[in-house]
Structure formats: C-alpha cells, structure tokens
Amino acid sequence: MTNPMSHPNPTYDVFVSCPMAATSNEEEYQALRAQALQVVHCLENECGLTAFFAGRNVESPDMFDVPDYAVYRDLGALRASRYFLLLYPERIVSSVLVEAGYALALGKKAVYFVKDKKHLPFILRHLDAIFSTKVYEYTTIDKILKLLRTHKENLFIPLQEQQGLTTIPTLAKNTASRGPRELISGSRIGNYTLVEKIGSGTYGVVWLAERRGGLATTRFAIKFPNTGLTDVHDVRREAEVWVQASGHENVMPIVEAEIYDGYLAIVSHYASDGCLNRWLKKHQGKSPSIETAIEITSGILNGLAHLHHRNLIHRDLKPANVLLEGMNPRIADFGLARLVPNQNEYSSTTIAGTPAYMAPEAWDGNRSVTIDLWAVGVMLYEMLSGKLPFSGDNATTVRDKVHLGAISPLPDYIPVPLQEFVYQSLARNPSDRFQSASSMAEHLIDFYDRL
C-alpha cells in the first residue's frame, strides 16, 4: 500500500477536520456532517480553495474505512495541505485533536472554529497568541460561512504575513507614559531596533525599525503617537480601523499595535520608496509625466474603492499619507479614518483633516466618500501642475477659496479632457463630483487608454 504521507507537494489547500466519528448517535453524526459539508462547499465554490474532508463521501458512521488505512490517508492528506481548519462544536475526545497537534507540528497555518474556547485543551486554546493559528468562537454555521466568504484565503494567513487582516491587534494593559522625543537611533523597542526617524508631525513620529532574527533581518515602520495628544483608546481605535482597511495592494497593511516599555506603537510594513510627498519634492513638485500621475492616482482610487466598500472613510488623504513601493501607491495613516454605517450620511461636530486637501463639506463637519474623492482630485491637480488648486497663507484663506470655488486654472499643456476630469473632481457641490472611487477610476483609465 502506498503511504499517503509521502506526498512531496501540497495537493489540497485546506484540510477540514471535524469530530464526526466521535458523535454519540446517527442524528448527531448527520447534523455535524451537514455543517462540515457546508464549510467544504463554501471553501471550494465561493473561496476558490480545494479541500480534503474525510467525511465527504461517508454517509454514515458505519462506512468509515479500516482504521489503520484511514490514519495513513487522513494524516497524509493533512501533510499534503497548506491550511488546517478545525470545526469543533463541543468538548469531544476525538482524533481531531491529534490532527490539530500534527498540523501544529507541521507548521500549518490553521483556523479553529469552536462553540466555546474552553472546550479546547489548554494549549490549543491559546495558540492564537503564539503560533500561526486563529481561534474563533461561533454560534451558528452561518457565522463561519460569513467569515469565509468575507476573507477567503486571508482567513488562514497570520497577521504579520498577510495584507487582508482578520484579527485586531491588542494593546497591553499597562500605561503608556513615555513620549517619542526620548527615542534615539539604536533604541530597542520590543522586538524592534530603531534605525532612523523617517517622519514627524503634530501627532507623533515614525521610525524605520528592524527586527533582527538569527536568519534574516526585516524592516518595519513604527508610528509613535505623542502621548500628550493621544491615548491608548485613540491608538486602539486607529489600529482597529487599520485592520478593517487592510487587505488590498493599495492599502499599507498594519502588523501590530502595542505598548513597549511605556511607548505607544503602531507597526506597519515599511515602504522603501517613501511617501508621495517626498516623491513630489524629488521631482520638483510634480509628476515627471501625465501618464505617471494617472497611474498613481488610479492606484489610490483602487485602494479607496476597497476602503469605501468596507464603509471606511479616510478623512485625511494627502501625499504624506500615500506611501510608494516602486510606483505602486499604498494608503496609510488611519488616525482620522472612521467606520460609518452609511457612507452617504455622516456628520461630526469635529472638523478634521489637512486644509489644502479638505472638501467644502468637510469644513462643516459633514463626511461622506466624496471628501476622499475630493482629496484625490487635489493630489492629481498637484501632480499635474506642481501646485495646489486652493492655496493661502492660512487655513481660513484656503477654506474661503474652497467654498468660493476659486480654483487656479491648470496649465495649458494638460489635455482638456483631463482638465475637465480634475475640475469635476473638485466641484463645490458634492453631487456634481464622481460618486464613487470605482466610477472615478474607470473614467480616469478611459482617458489614459486614449493617450
């Protein structure tokens, strides 16, 4: 008999483990099998993943294979799978716990769905804090299916490795009492060594940091908020929104949020090419070509479409908050971003944003997706012309020009259709602008294709 455990390469995406053979009667068996088959169907037909499930064709407990061969087959399939999924509805002594341990020993990325974490053995219960394993409590099978449909393969990817984050970084309960001004190059913060300061502003500083392992050194960007202007609650909210925002190539993913030795810290991937603002300064304030300006703007709009689809409004889009990896833009810094129930109806008593990039309605505390689209229009204008459409010596002057629609004309060398696109993006009345990032991106790409 061929040993199935000798497969040299993965032949399945997901190994689905469920304690069916340990059920006490036929009715329980059929109910649990039906739930497992729903998960398998969702993985294969809605998530685009292949799945191994031992009970797929086992219609009753009497049909299970000879135990010795079943062990070889099932553990061989687990070895030949990329991910491990455990469906564990109650505390049952079952071989699925052996499979979970074997998946752990193999280093498989795993997701456990349990009715109650306390039903798991102690070690498995706490794996989500240590290994590449996520543990979710669920009430109904629909909750599991919703998670799979929403996150698909990203559900299995650890926080540090993926762009689509599915868990929320936790902040330690100790008090954050130290300000970023105390930090110097070479400082050790948690697992990170600070290399150099790469950005600063009113609300904090950003450092390039390295995590130096025995085999490799990886680089990250760490934002240290000023403790006098923010607190743990603010940072937790920003981190939670950032997690919701992640999962797209045009959004910079967060790695973790924590308190290290009294310092509040938000860790994200490091963009080696810096921010769009630095890139503009390097090119005398504007894009070297119209095509490049359009390509960057298109990427920003694609990232925005992703945010808006998740009911997120950034509220502070500007070149300093767009990071570049090559010519691929990635939206970052979600300190002012908000998760809103309705993208078209949201107001606030707080006026927030950067004046040069704020839409008319933003000055009145009104929020909708159109304020983000306005900011994109401002950035495209800036990349094309090397100046801002509404400028002034102070915020009040800028606000007045924005409300009056006193926009400076674009240079004559900009094609008229592209000028019209920019002017529509900066229309005073929100209803006269593009109504979605997707629509705006489509119009821009149509123009680009005609160049």
Architecture of domain 4-156: 3-Layer(aba) Sandwich (3.40)
β-bridge partners, 110:
84, 133
Contacts by residues 43-46 (CB-CB < 8 Å, ≥ 24 positions apart): 43/13, 43/14, 43/16, 43/85, 43/148, 46/148, 46/149, 46/152
CA distances from 137 to 35, 90, 228, 367 (A): 15, 11, 37, 35
Burial of 206 per CB tally in 10 Å (0-12, 13-18, 19+): buried
Do 304 and 226 form a contact (C-beta atoms < 8 A)?
no
| Max CA separation in the chain (angstroms) | 82
Report the C-alpha gap between 379 and 355 in whole angstroms: 13
Reduced DSSP (H G I as helix, E B as strand, rest coil) percent helix, strand, coil of the chain, to 5:
40, 20, 40
CA distances from 410 to 85, 165, 191, 237 (A): 56, 40, 49, 39
User: pTM of the entire structure?
Assistant: 0.59
Segments of the chain with pLDDT less than 50: 1-10, 66, 68-69, 129-130, 159-170, 172-174, 339-351
Structure token pair of residue 133: 């394993």
DSSP tag of 286:
S
Helical packing angle, 96-106 and 67-79, nearest 10°:
30
pLDDT given for residue 12 in this prediction = 83
180-269 CATH choice from 3.30.200.20, 3.50.50.60, 3.40.640.10, 3.20.20.70: 3.30.200.20
pLDDT given for residue 303 in this prediction = 92
Q: Which CATH class is domain 276-449?
A: mainly alpha
pLDDT given for residue 374 in this prediction = 93
Per-residue pLDDT tens over the stretch 420-435: 999 999 998 988 999 9
Do 205 and 218 form a contact (C-beta atoms < 8 A)?
no
296: region left, alpha or beta (phi > 0 left; psi from -120 to 50 alpha)? alpha
Domain ranges of the chain: 4-156, 180-269, 276-449
What strand order describes the sheet that includes 263-269?
188-189, 192-201, 204-212, 217-225, 263-269, 254-260
Q: DSSP for 429-445? A: SGGGS-SSHHHHHHHHH
pLDDT given for residue 90 in this prediction = 77
